[in-house]
Structure 1
Amino acid sequence: MSDRSDQPDRLNASADPEGTPRVERRRWPRDTDQTNDAVFSAPPALTPLRFSTAQFEPAEQFSIWRSHLEPIVEVNLPDGVAPQNGFAAEHTAWNLGKMLLVRQRTDAYRYARSAEKLRSSSIDHWYIGIPHRGNAWTEVDGHVVESRRDTVTFRSLGHPYRGRATESEVTLLYMPYDLFAGNAGMLVAANNSVFTGNYATLLIDYIGSVETRLPTLVASDLVKIVYTIRDMLVTCLAEAAANRQNGVNPLTLSAMERVHHYIHSNLGSQDLNPDSISRAMGISRTRLYQLFEASGGVLNYIRRKRLQDAYAALSDPANNQRVLDIAEEAGFDVAANFTRAFIHEFRLSPSDVRKAATGQLPAVTHIDQSPTPTFEKWLRELGR
């Protein structure tokens, strides 16, 4: 008869009602999953940014909603609706680092991102909309698409558009240009597209699953989620680009993709200008100007991108560069010219951004000068 006294791990420490120890049937002891324990013990990474008009007087609600969306679009009430009637709007944003996820509920309204707006706004992100309730109709270059439940709408903030929405609830994802830098031409082809079918349904389901878990996500989750959504979206975009070129010649798409990539790779070069770009890309200056006509011109595009990089550098508390050095990297030899361009672009000075980043708030507080996050600040810093 074998002696079992040397196998205490096979006996359960508890006893049944008759006092007989239970035999543990597991051959090997259970291992503790320390990796999962570490993940579950990590604190949540995200804090939502909540906005609602409910706390304001009805007559003020729409103007406050208009101010909230001012960085992106100009909004107006439908014909026959007066501001005094009130405007219900809820807007909750989550910052995933390289992606902003927004859940929005609103009354009906009209919206437009005009060519004039583009000239005054440096924001050129891509975004998708997933309606849960209500409909929207958006026009780009004379082409109108309808957004409705169980569809995914894709659009660029770097191109003019206008439209109207009924009382609705929608999930919006804002994504920086750089997240898709290698697919610029394909994205242009799919601008103002509506996706349906299996790929779109899978994307909707995945984003819905992410939404339900936003309060519990930890930092290590975010990058994986962002790139999973990006890859799923690229699959939808590839299908849309194959089926419809949005009236854009494939050769134009190829040139646009190459030029965008060249500009982003050479933003720090003092020699970046229409002549150098035309020579490097093997295209005429006239052709180059045509490619960037919707963006306010190639020089304006370069200037805005450099100012965005300067804003990101000034907002980084770990960046010890002088403002003058950052200005020179942005292509400005004269500090005063840099300051004027910076204020025109962001409505605050470079020194104010630097003070806010280091906790030294200026005497006069602007909406973007506070260290408290705002939707506008998140949009401007997205992906930086």
Structure 2
Amino acid sequence: MPEENKAPPATPVPFERRRWPRVSQEPLGNDENTAQSLVALRFETDGLPRPEQFPAWRAHISSLAEARLPDSVAPEDGFSVRQAVWNLGGMLLLQQSVPAFSYERSAEMVRFSPLDHWLITFLRTGRSWTSIDGRVAENEPGMMEIRSLGNPFGGRALESEALTLIVPDDQFADRGGLPPATSNTVLGGRRVKLMYDHMVGLQTNLSSLSQDDLPSIKSRLLEMIFDTVTPFLNRGGDSERVSQIGLMTRARRLIRKNLISSDLTPEALSRELAISRTRLYELFESVGGVAKYIRQHRLLAAHRMLADPSDRRTITEVGLAIGYDSAANFSRAFTQQFGYSPNNIRIHRTSPDAQFDARVENSAVTFGGLLQMLGVRT
């Protein structure tokens, strides 16, 4: 064969010499999200007639505060609100856009409300002014505002977009709780920016998270909140505050441990903690006193019992278990705290992940209902 017709020599196939066989490993996390995904509770007024938009918003947030329009605005002008709420298994994360309005949580509302939750708010746009006992806290983008629902307050806000955490006071029980002096405080600085960036990242990725992720998410948020607030509270070596935290931690643990016991009384707690009744009341003053605290948490325990499909006790038996001598008294106290009767739980068990439509009456889940249930789902 002529030299020019010869086929070029075959290129050898490269191969890798290795001492051990290759074992393929899939990237970690590819099989996640097999659990139920988080679903937001959404509220919007744009689909309502303009005169009905503000009344719908006012009713929607009535558990938090009474809302009012600015003097220059009428209901007929409309009130375009968009809000999404995620239940993080014991705390709520809100993302909302709302026009200017004023708000008030009166002393009477605080007295009859079981809510002692903390509001932790970051404004993306807008500005707000909130007054407690004549002391005004001004919030703006770049700051972190902390306010307790256990205290009366009033104020106003410009048109704004905000991220807010609503956290029951008991979530901080192992740390002694956030001191009452924390309420109506506005903080800034490096720690606040880290907290805000974490919140934004969390909100952005919530649609890809599941119920299985909630314990670690909640634990991290609580840690960051406390670490953000503590440096401002500990300046000057406040030994009295440290002592109060220790007492609060012991008191709350004793209450949780003996919640169903008939021996759990303010007098018994005073003896166990070796403090006076006056001192005990001061520890729980922000939530209306220790007797109110015990009563509310017993009712929350009753709610858990009634909502548990495996618990076969009657409503009367559940009432007796938490110290009520008659079904009528138990039902009255329960309805006053939750806004519905014990019998309604047995008839209509609800899911925290159901959707909410402002135009549908008697929706399975409402914002007010989620606020009430936070104490149950801790």
Question: Normalised by the size of structure 1, how large is the TM-score?
Answer: 0.83
* 1:210 positional shift: 0.9
* 1:238 positional shift: 1.0
In the TM superposition, 1:219-238 aligns within 5 A as 219-238=211-230
Residue of structure 1 aligned with 2:325, choices 323, 330, 333: 333
* Residue 235 (structure 2) pairs with residue 243 (structure 1): yes
In the TM superposition, 1:111-122 aligns within 5 A as 111-122=103-114
CA contact (8 A) 1:312 1:381 kept: no
* 1:245 positional shift: 10
2:163 & 2:302 partners in 1: Cα distance?
A: 31
Residue of structure 2 aligned with 1:302, choices 294, 299, 302: 294
Counterpart secondary structure, 2:313? coil
Residue of structure 2 aligned with 1:96, choices 81, 88, 95: 88
**TM-aligned CA distance change 1:104 to 1:245, over 3 Å:** farther
**TM-aligned CA distance change 1:280 to 1:56, over 3 Å:** same
Unaligned runs of 5+ in 1: 1-17, 360-366
Equivalent residue number for residue 281 of structure 1: 273
Deviates more, 1:222-231 or 1:28-37: 28-37
CA contact (8 A) 2:302 2:322 kept: yes
Counterpart secondary structure, 1:372? coil
Aligned residue identity for 1:284: S
* 1:370 positional shift: 6.7
CA contact (8 A) 1:193 1:240 kept: no
* Residue 2 (structure 2) pairs with residue 32 (structure 1): no
1:293 & 1:128 partners in 2: Cα distance?
A: 21
Residue of structure 2 aligned with 1:204, choices 175, 196, 214: 196
* Residue 199 (structure 2) pairs with residue 191 (structure 1): no
Residue of structure 1 aligned with 2:53, choices 61, 84, 106: 61
Deviates more, 1:200-209 or 1:180-189: 180-189
1:170 & 1:297 partners in 2: Cα distance?
A: 32
Equivalent residue number for residue 180 of structure 1: 172
1:34 & 1:214 partners in 2: Cα distance?
A: 21
Question: Normalised by the size of structure 2, how large is the TM-score?
Answer: 0.85
Residue of structure 2 aligned with 1:158, choices 150, 160, 166: 150
* 1:24 positional shift: 5.4
Aligned residue identity for 1:29: R
CA contact (8 A) 1:101 1:174 kept: yes
- How far does the alpha carbon of each residue in 1:279-330 deviate from its partner, in whole angstroms, 9 at most, with x for none? 2222222333444444333322221221122123222333333222221232
CA contact (8 A) 1:310 1:326 kept: yes
* Residue 123 (structure 2) pairs with residue 131 (structure 1): yes
- How far does the alpha carbon of each residue in 1:324-358 deviate from its partner, in whole angstroms, 9 at most, with x for none? 22212322121111011112222221011111128
CA contact (8 A) 2:118 2:148 kept: yes
2:346 & 2:280 partners in 1: Cα distance?
A: 35
RMSD: 2.9
CA contact (8 A) 1:133 1:148 kept: yes
**TM-aligned CA distance change 1:114 to 1:203, over 3 Å:** same
* Residue 65 (structure 2) pairs with residue 73 (structure 1): yes
Equivalent residue number for residue 148 of structure 1: 140
- How far does the alpha carbon of each residue in 1:160-195 deviate from its partner, in whole angstroms, 9 at most, with x for none? 222211100000111222321022354434222222
Residue of structure 2 aligned with 1:320, choices 312, 324, 345: 312
* 1:57 positional shift: 1.2
CA contact (8 A) 1:44 1:216 kept: no
* 1:213 positional shift: 0.6
